[in-house]
């Protein structure tokens, strides 16, 4: 690991100022991804600012939203009564990810900042446009069984690794950030769909945060999905593995009729993939298997599999159907 200066910040302003001053400084919270990437020489910050001690751990109800603090750990978030009762989809998604040890360390803000687990991104002897702009993409013609079927570009075919973010995408979460330009205590709000980005011609950028901006909280609008939601994760092992395909499904029913529905997919794109075609087909229709199948087929029409991941197309279709069935049971 390369040498770096270490500082601990006690408030948001100090943290933002410290990182803003140095282009190669980074925030560190749980460190579960960043420390690993630094060991691999993929991340090379010259300075780390520890933000884990900043008082941003609250999980609370605020008007029409539930606010989860950026520094709250994944475990305490998933176990929090407010989250379990009102946002079971989020609890399930958090529990589907990583291991108990990692969830005890990982923060909510950090979960959003996870980088792809594409093996070529991790291997510094291979070309990777995300790690080194312009060096090429080794995955596109390489081993790409784990890679994207939606939204990829010639520059990058990596997928976003988070489960939690798939649920947050389905629940229309809003990310609150504070940065060097903003007023103190005044957060910039980024809709979840605009937080992570597709690779396009610059895969080095996973999201739309500016340097020095710190996630302070995630706000999730209260909803009526608690009764009918389900997070399905399909992976190589029964536990502790990244998703091949995952589905966050939530519905609001009036008898058999679907009043509102949300579907987001993980493991298929550079960001959590909202299945909006499937959603618009299902809205107002009956919650029956036949419609779920049609909706899934409609969504997957847009899929563009790579050399080794064509299986994901059929898998995603079936996973959508299964997740919806579990959600509306």
Partner 1 sequence: MPDQFEDLREAEELSEDEERLLDELGITGESRRRFLGQVGVAGFSIFAMQVIAQRQALAAGGTYSEAAADPISLENAVKVVFKVNGEKKTVEVDSRMTLLDTLREKLDLTGSKKGCDHGQCGACTVIADGQRVLSCLTLAATCEGKEVTTIEGLAKGEELHPMQSAFIKYDAFQCGYCTPGQICSAVALIDEAARGDASYVTAVEGGSNTKLSDDDIRERMSGNICRCGAYPNILKAVKEVHKGEETAATWKFHRPDEKAGADKEVADETV
Site for partner 1, rule CB under 8 A: 1-6, 8, 28, 31-32, 35-36, 38-40, 48, 50, 52, 73, 75, 78-79, 84, 88, 91-92, 95-96, 98-102, 104-105, 230-231, 237-240, 326
Given phi > 0 = left and psi -120 to 50 = alpha, else beta, which region is 232?
beta
Closest to partner 1 by CB, 46 vs 135, is 46
Closest to partner 1 by CB, 187 vs 249, is 249
Closest to partner 1 by CB, 174 vs 248, is 248
Closest to partner 1 by CB, 14 vs 40, is 40
Partners of residue 48 on adjacent β-strands? 6, 26
Helix runs in 6-73, H state only: 12-21, 34-39
Closest to partner 1 by CB, 129 vs 162, is 162
DSSP 172: T
CB of 38 to partner 1, least distance (A): 8
Q: Calculate ∠ Cα 180-181-183, nearest 5°.
A: 95
CB of 327 to partner 1, least distance (A): 11
Pairing of strands 47-50, 25-28: parallel
Dist. CA 237–CA 217, nearest whole Å: 32
Closest to partner 1 by CB, 258 vs 323, is 323
CB of 322 to partner 1, least distance (A): 12
CA dihedral 202, 206, 211, 212 (to 10 degrees): 180
CB of 58 to partner 1, least distance (A): 18
Q: Calculate ∠ Cα 108-110-115, nearest 5°.
A: 130
Dist. CA 216–CA 12, nearest whole Å: 8
CB of 104 to partner 1, least distance (A): 4
CB of 208 to partner 1, least distance (A): 27
Q: Answer for the pair 176, 215: CB distance below 8 angstroms, yes or no.
A: yes
């Amino acid at each position: 690991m390369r040498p770096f200066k270490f500082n601990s910040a006690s408030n948001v302003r100090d943290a933002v100022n410290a990182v803003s001053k140095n282009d190669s400084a980074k925030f560190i919270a749980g460190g579960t991804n960043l420390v690993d990437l630094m060991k691999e020489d993929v991340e090379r910050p010259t300075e780390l600012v520890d933000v884990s001690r900043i008082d941003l751990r609250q999980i609370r109800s605020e008007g029409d939203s539930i606010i989860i603090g950026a520094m709250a750990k994944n475990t305490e978030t998933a176990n929090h009564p407010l989250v379990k009762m009102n946002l079971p989809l989020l609890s399930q998604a958090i529990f589907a990810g990583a291991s108990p040890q990692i969830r005890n360390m990982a923060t909510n803000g950090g979960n959003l900042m996870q980088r792809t687990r594409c093996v070529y991104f991790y291997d510094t002897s291979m070309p990777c446009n995300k790690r080194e702009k312009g060096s090429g993409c080794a995955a596109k013609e390489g081993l790409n069984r784990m890679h994207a079927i939606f939204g990829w570009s010639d520059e990058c075919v990596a997928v976003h690794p988070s489960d939690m973010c798939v649920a947050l995408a389905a629940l229309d979460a809003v990310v609150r950030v504070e940065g060097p330009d903003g007023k103190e205590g005044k957060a910039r709000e980024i809709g979840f769909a605009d937080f992570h980005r597709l690779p396009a011609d610059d895969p080095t950028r996973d999201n739309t945060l500016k340097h020095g901006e710190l996630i302070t909280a995630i706000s999730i609008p209260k909803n009526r999905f608690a009764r009918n939601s389900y997070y399905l994760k399909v992976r190589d092992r029964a536990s502790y593995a990244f998703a091949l395909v995952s589905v966050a499904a939530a519905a609001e029913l009036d008898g058999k009729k679907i009043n509102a529905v949300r579907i987001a997919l993980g493991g298929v794109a550079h960001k959590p993939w909202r299945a909006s075609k499937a959603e618009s087909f299902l809205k107002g229709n009956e919650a029956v298997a036949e419609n779920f199948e049609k909706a899934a087929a409609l969504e997957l029409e847009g899929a563009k599999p790579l050399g080794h991941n064509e299986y994901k197309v059929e898998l995603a279709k079936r996973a959508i159907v299964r997740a919806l069935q579990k959600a509306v049971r």
